[in-house]
Structure 1
């Protein structure tokens, strides 16, 4: 399958504009993406012929821009593995991530991550150059919806949507105890724990962090919460719930680890809404609670 291209048919309204103007303002390509395309033989074409971005277009012509990957530069190995796809098109993929799978390769996890499994999936589709372009990440223990772009242009557009109304994520979690009040906002800055590479804590010199929560069910001395992030700090939900005295059930880092109950923090990315990076269409997805979290209730 050929790398992804965006095409624009030149109508009378667009006649007389430069290629640069159309690529930036009509197709929404950034300067970074444009610079990469200019280096490719067929990166920017007009009626199939390579052109400079200063060229002026005429009615009836077709402008084409190569936005897809022409090589994999991440260095991530392609390895088949557990992968539940919720949605896929030429620009993005939405995955329902299983708990226990890291989002991205790192120390101790070089070939058993979502990134590895996605590249193997792209290979099976006949897309050997499509690389891993995560828009956001989920902790290893967190399950649920996660989106990855299929090229740098889509990744850039989607990352710019993060923490805006265009990109909305809703999490479900089970915590120890029942928060009071039953709904509220935790507004507390988060920073690293001194001398720790992983742990975070609420601290006055940390980065601003806000989490909205709502209790939607109570049972067995625990509560099922609906949560939304206004910011995106590492471990934000886990740190904020522990901060108010209600750590997530099973959270080995900020609460009490109990494998008899659940083998990971009880956190699930349940709903995801985004605006498509190319078409502008609003897409909405949901993923039900997995059985290990349901068993707590």
Structure 2
């Protein structure tokens, strides 16, 4: 069982449910704690959420047990771990590995690999909570939460744009500007379940980029997303005439040095409220991405 406790230091009495919300416990998680086997105590005594806490009292919350899916296969493939504690697991995803299982990749996605790791390490909860995802062809950082509360915390940071992700990409053509923001809504392309496009009735999407290196026929960019739309970087770069090198869906797969889109999630930064500190992780550029830069620079 996973437990948390906090001491109330305010002057005025406060409802337990209000204090729990202040600690980051969502309404959904609160319902699960109340009705699915969790426990709420003040100074060791079970209480209702309408109980009023006084200054100096300690709230103790026990999360309900999480039941893993019987249908999710555990993979024995090792993980490249960038950061881990009792609440979060940050891993470096190789290209050509899906983030989540599907009918095409049922047994060896990153979710399957993390499931296997949680079992091998006898984690307190063996349910996989994927927080951030990458396209199968994209390499770099993927964040997992180790329990529902940690997942809620990072979901909130995502919605508030406080979880920062930085990418590098190589795009075709020479980008003139040193800095730019692409603000263009993204929606599905008609007739395609997979492909997206910039369209006026799409969902708002903002991509900011900085020049990292100009090469004779391509450009290395550092990119930060301000929204999280499917294929956002790929769609936005293609929309300004600079599709990603190697992107078969939005450009052309013609580069001999990389057989995927040249896109890598290089860093993430988020606040860990359980450790009360900012966590920043970096994923080194994979060999094929570095090869593109080297050979494109030498043209």
Q: TM-score, normalised by structure 1?
A: 0.90
Counterpart among 258, 272, 297 of residue 268 in structure 2:
272
Counterpart among 220, 237, 243 of residue 233 in structure 2:
237
Which residue number corresponds to residue 19 of structure 1? 16
3-state DSSP of counterpart to 2:73: coil
Which residue number corresponds to residue 2 of structure 2? 4
- CA shift for structure 1 position 282: 1.4
Q: Answer whether contact 2:245 2:255 (CA < 8 A) is retained.
A: no
RMSD (Å), alpha carbons? 2.3
* Aligned ranges 1:4-153 → 2 under 5 Å: 4-9=2-7, 13=10, 16-25=13-22, 27-57=23-53, 62-67=58-63, 69-73=65-69, 75-127=71-123, 129-153=125-149
Q: Answer whether contact 1:42 1:50 (CA < 8 A) is retained.
A: no
Q: TM-score, normalised by structure 2?
A: 0.89
Counterpart among 242, 245, 248 of residue 252 in structure 1:
248
Return structure 1 stretches of 4+ with deviation > 6 angstroms. Answer: none
Deviations 1:239-296 (A, max 9, x none): 1111111111111101111362211111000111111143442111111211101101
3-state DSSP of counterpart to 2:274: coil
User: Following the alignment from structure 2 to structure 1, what is the Cα–Cα distance between the partners of residues 252 and 224?
Assistant: 23
For structure 2, the residue ranges without an aligned partner over 5 or more in a row are: 294-299
Q: Answer whether contact 1:163 1:230 (CA < 8 A) is retained.
A: no
- CA shift for structure 1 position 181: 2.3
- CA shift for structure 1 position 131: 1.2
Counterpart among 192, 195, 201 of residue 199 in structure 1:
195
User: Following the alignment from structure 2 to structure 1, what is the Cα–Cα distance between the partners of residues 148 and 70?
Assistant: 12
3-state DSSP of counterpart to 2:68: coil
* Aligned ranges 1:150-189 → 2 under 5 Å: 150-162=146-158, 164-189=160-185
For structure 1, the residue ranges without an aligned partner over 5 or more in a row are: none
Deviations 1:72-120 (A, max 9, x none): 2584222222411111111111111111111111221111100011111
Q: Answer whether contact 2:36 2:64 (CA < 8 A) is retained.
A: no
